């Protein structure tokens, strides 16, 4: 895939986010068609639960989760005892996670948004129990790093696919 096409998909992901979709939806829906999911509504529904760091619990970043869902489409195993296939997919997910973490310092939504100090998040997501999404205003988009991370997640994934 050419850099130009990667950038088009990265910008499509940002557009989806700015339309009001969450980070995971934006990343996943911008590339799901590469794997036969041509129904964008289906792609958006499949990835809907991973926004806000998984159901707005501020755990794993939605942009990273979108990458990981795409990794499953790319090389996920569909055979129960395919340990080699599982290992290959897990290695790819770990590669993607490492690149994202190297770039942003964390995979945790609360840390990326400055809601918790790095390394201080617990495993059950006690950073926000309010499931209501934040209102999408100009100020929301100005103070959030999400759009940049969404575009970069698409780039990391697609560049990783080109190497695999």
Domain extents in the chain: 3-163
Question: H or E stretch including 133?
Answer: none
DSSP state of 60: B
pTM: 0.91
Q: How far is CA 19 from CA 13, 23, 139, in A?
A: 10, 11, 15
Angle at 91 between CA 126 and CA 83, to 5 degrees: 105
DSSP state of 108: B
| Contact criterion met (CB below 8 Å) for 159 and 6 | yes
Question: Can you give the pLDDT of all 164 residues of the chain as single tens digits?
Answer: 899 999 999 999 999 999 999 999 999 999 999 999 999 999 999 999 999 999 999 999 999 999 999 999 999 999 999 999 999 999 999 999 999 999 999 999 999 999 888 776 655 555 555 677 788 888 777 788 999 999 999 999 999 998 65
Burial class (CB in 10 A: 0-12, 13-18, 19+), 13: buried
Residue of 66, 61, 2 lying closest to 30 (CA atoms)? 66
Q: How far is CA 11 from CA 31, 47, 56, 59, 110, in A?
A: 11, 18, 24, 25, 24
């Amino acid at each position: 895939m050419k850099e130009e096409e990667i950038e088009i998909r990265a910008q499509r992901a940002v557009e989806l986010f700015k339309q009001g979709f969450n980070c995971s939806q934006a990343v996943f829906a911008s590339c799901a068609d590469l794997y036969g999911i041509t129904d964008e509504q289906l792609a958006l529904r499949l990835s809907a639960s991973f926004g806000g760091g998984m159901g707005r619990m501020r755990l794993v970043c939605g942009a990273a989760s979108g990458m990981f869902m795409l990794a499953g489409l790319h090389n996920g195993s569909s055979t129960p005892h395919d340990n080699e296939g599982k290992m290959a997919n897990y290695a790819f997910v770990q590669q993607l996670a490492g690149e994202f973490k190297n770039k942003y310092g964390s995979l945790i939504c609360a840390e990326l948004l400055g809601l918790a100090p790095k390394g201080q998040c617990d495993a059950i997501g006690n950073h926000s129990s309010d499931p209501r999404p934040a209102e999408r205003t100009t100020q929301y988009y100005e103070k959030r790093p999400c759009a940049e991370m969404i575009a970069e997640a698409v780039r990391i994934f697609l560049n990783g696919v080109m190497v695999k």
